[in-house]
């Protein structure tokens, strides 16, 4: 099928900023997406601009210009739209300040620091891909002590309980009583990776702060602060390749609708 004959429904929903492509596939699986009055059962469905798509009974919003925000997430907030345990979420906290957004990756409830948010689900997916190769940097406070030699070994990667982690850059920042402050840089961002690596070293993490995600830095952004990344800075940091691809896809969609 030619790319001009339609696009996958999950991709169209994500580009509209409703949610990420992964979450769109979940919504389809839950029977919450309709196409031309019928409930969709497969995320493999291709759609065109002539099709009427409803998510939870609401039409897709018009594609807005892609935006990106830096958020200094405090501890105690869940990075989820709905928490089964009823805990406060990032999206509830920011509901009055931002349009509908999705997070680029996640942070555990007690993890603080830089969280990137966007109104473009496709951008979120693009930046989460391992192939993007962006480094995540953290400051870690952990109970216990470790030597530099043990940290140097992490540069070749390590296997912990059957899970293989890629190269990790870790350095001792300072020792503070029974705690050690570390700086850790990783590329993969696997689930609870930093905490599991520290446990492997005999350390117990009691504070974790993400300071950078790729070229974007936490900097002096205050705790709980939110700041939009200027369009020029966003495009130069992410690369024009992504935006050209998205602009081309949006132009095709507009042609189909005309």
Could you read off the pLDDT tens digit of each residue along the chain, which spans 258 residues?
Answer: 333 356 789 888 887 778 878 888 999 999 999 999 999 988 888 888 788 899 999 888 776 788 999 999 999 999 988 788 989 999 999 988 998 899 998 899 999 999 999 988 888 888 888 777 889 999 999 999 999 999 999 999 999 988 899 999 999 999 999 999 999 999 887 888 999 999 999 999 999 999 999 999 999 999 999 999 999 999 888 876 677 655 545 444 444 444
Phi, psi of 199 (to 5 degrees): -60, -35
**CA separation for the pair 157, 226 (Å, rounded):** 34
Contact 155, 118 (CB under 8 A): no
The encoded tokens of residue 56 equal 């939870």
Has 108 been annotated as catalytic? yes
Helix (H, G, I), strand (E, B) or coil at 218: coil
Task: Name beta bridge partners: 185.
Answer: 137, 169
Domain 135-213 has CATH 1.20.140.10: no
The catalytic position among 108, 120, 178, 248 is: 108
The encoded tokens of residue 106 equal 């996640």
Helix (H) and strand (E) counts for the chain? 8, 17
Enter the CATH code of domain 68-131+216-240.
Answer: 3.30.70.580
Q: Which residues of the chain does CATH 3.10.290.10 include?
A: 3-60
Domain 3-60 has CATH 3.90.470.20: no
Q: Which residues of the chain does CATH 3.30.70.1560 include?
A: 135-213
The encoded tokens of residue 1 equal 């099928």
């Amino acid at each position: 099928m030619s790319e001009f004959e339609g696009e996958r429904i999950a991709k169209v929903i994500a580009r509209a900023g409703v949610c990420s492509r992964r979450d769109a596939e979940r919504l389809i699986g839950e029977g919450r997406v309709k196409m031309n009055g019928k409930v969709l059962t497969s995320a493999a469905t291709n759609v065109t601009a002539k099709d009427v798509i409803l998510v939870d009974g609401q039409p897709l919003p018009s594609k807005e210009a892609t935006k990106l925000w830096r958020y200094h997430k405090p501890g105690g907030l869940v990075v989820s739209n709905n928490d089964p345990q009823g805990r406060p979420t990032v999206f509830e906290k920011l509901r009055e300040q931002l349009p509908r957004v999705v997070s680029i990756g996640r942070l555990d409830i007690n993890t603080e620091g830089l969280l990137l948010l966007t109104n473009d689900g496709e951008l979120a997916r693009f930046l989460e891909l391992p192939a993007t190769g962006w480094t995540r940097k953290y400051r870690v406070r952990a109970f216990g002590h470790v030597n530099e030699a043990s940290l140097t070994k992490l540069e070749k990667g390590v296997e912990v309980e059957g899970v293989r982690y890629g190269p990790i850059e870790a350095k001792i920042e300072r020792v503070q009583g029974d705690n050690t402050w570390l700086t850790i840089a990783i590329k993969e961002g696997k689930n609870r990776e930093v905490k599991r690596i520290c446990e492997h070293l005999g350390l117990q993490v009691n504070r974790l702060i993400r300071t950078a995600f790729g070229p974007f830095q936490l900097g002096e952004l205050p705790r709980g602060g939110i700041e939009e990344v200027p369009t020029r800075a966003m495009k130069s940091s992410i690369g024009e390749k992504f935006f050209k691809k998205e602009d081309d896809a949006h132009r095709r969609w507009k042609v189909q609708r005309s």
